[in-house]
């Protein structure tokens, strides 16, 4: 009995001593705030950046991350024409249901197809990624604390581990990822894509563009929402003014 009590005490002291050390290891700096076209009350999506960001997603991120909630036709929202959408879709081979013999068939995606997923299921995704699951990116920016700034910080935060850091095998050191170990290898390199509009493809530019695209994808109705908000506030201000004028008029005879 007494022995058990000692063991419990020992475990407690151990946990207390280990607590701060663990917390220190898991601590990641707050991601620095970036300048985004879409932030603020009057922010809108920089469509050129979002289109470049789609190019980064398509040629880099989509090799590991799915975006199951998006369909190719949704790209009209960042200014792609129906012809461009058809062309983008047809470069992707996706499941197209069953043939007359009941066998699954694949073929070029249509504008109405959901984005191609890189892996058929979660097990295959983990097997290809050292056991880690690349999260679906449809709503990723919204679900991560720190949002766009955090995603940008992770994409640009790969570094050599400091001396003495215990990096597990298959993991990569990242300044901004909790615990500083991430299974995703550094996805962006300079000039990894060639932008059609001549923008120089630095790692920072690619990160900025892909985050703009991912934020649009997770909030395609954000601009309308803000515009409605501004109109509602204007209306309320106007109504307040009007009500005041009417009140003065109605009470003007009462002394």
Q: Binder to ligand HEC among 84, 92, 129, 219 (CB under 6 A)?
A: 129
225 Cβ contact list (under 8 Å, min separation 6): none
The encoded tokens of residue 43 equal 């922010």
- Longest alpha-carbon distance in the chain: 91
- x/- site string to ligand HEC, residues 203 to 232, per CB under 6 A? -------x----------------------
Measured over the CA atoms of residue 138, residue 141, residue 142 and residue 145, the dihedral's sign is positive
- Which residues are CB-neighbours of 48 under 8 A, at least 6 positions away? 197
Within 8 A by CB and 6+ apart from 77, the residues are 216, 220
Residue 63 found at the interface with ligand HEC (CB under 6 A)? yes
State how far the alpha carbon of 251 is from the alpha carbons of 203, 238, 255, in Å. Answer: 66, 20, 8
Q: Pick between residue 109 and residue 188 the one whose CB is nearest to ligand HEC.
A: 188
Residues 65-84 that bind ligand HEC (CB under 6 A): 65
Q: Which is nearer to ligand HEC, 192 or 227 (CB)?
A: 192
- The set of residues, in sequence order, having a beta carbon less than 8 Å from that of 170 and lying 6+ positions away, is 130, 183
Residue number, 10 or 179, with CB nearest to ligand HEC: 179
Nearest approach in angstroms of CB 225 to ligand HEC is: 24
Does 28 participate in binding ligand HEC (rule CB under 6 A)?
no
In the shown chain, the binding pattern of residues 143 to 182 toward ligand HEC, with x for contact by CB under 6 A and - for none, equals: -x------x--xx--------------------------x
Binding site for ligand HEC (CB under 6 A): 56, 60-61, 63-65, 129, 132, 134-135, 144, 151, 154-155, 182-185, 187-188, 210
């Amino acid at each position: 009995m007494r022995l058990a009590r000692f063991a419990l005490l020992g475990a407690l002291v151990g946990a207390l001593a280990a607590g701060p050390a663990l917390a220190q290891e898991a601590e990641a700096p707050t991601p620095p705030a970036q300048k985004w076209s879409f932030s603020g009350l009057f922010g809108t999506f920089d469509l050129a950046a979002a289109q470049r960001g789609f190019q980064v997603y398509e040629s880099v991120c989509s090799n590991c991350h799915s975006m199951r909630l998006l369909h190719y036709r949704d790209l009209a929202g960042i200014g792609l024409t129906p012809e461009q959408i058809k062309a983008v879709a047809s470069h992707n081979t996706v499941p197209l249901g069953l043939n007359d013999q009941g066998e699954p068939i694949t073929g070029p995606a249509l504008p109405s197809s959901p984005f191609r997923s890189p892996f058929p299921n979660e097990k295959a995704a983990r097997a290809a990624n050292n056991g880690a699951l690349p999260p679906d990116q449809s709503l990723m920016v919204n679900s991560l604390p720190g949002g766009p700034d955090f995603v940008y910080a992770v994409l640009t935060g790969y570094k050599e581990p400091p001396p003495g850091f215990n990096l597990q095998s298959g993991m990569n050191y990242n300044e901004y990822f909790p615990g500083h170990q991430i299974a995703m290898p550094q996805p962006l390199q300079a000039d990894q894509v060639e932008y059609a509009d001549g923008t120089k493809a630095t790692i920072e530019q690619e990160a900025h563009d892909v985050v703009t695209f991912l934020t649009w994808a997770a909030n395609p109705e954000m601009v309308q929402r803000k515009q409605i908000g501004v109109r509602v506030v204007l209306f309320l201000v106007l109504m307040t003014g009007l009500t005041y004028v009417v009140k003065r008029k109605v009470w003007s005879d009462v002394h």
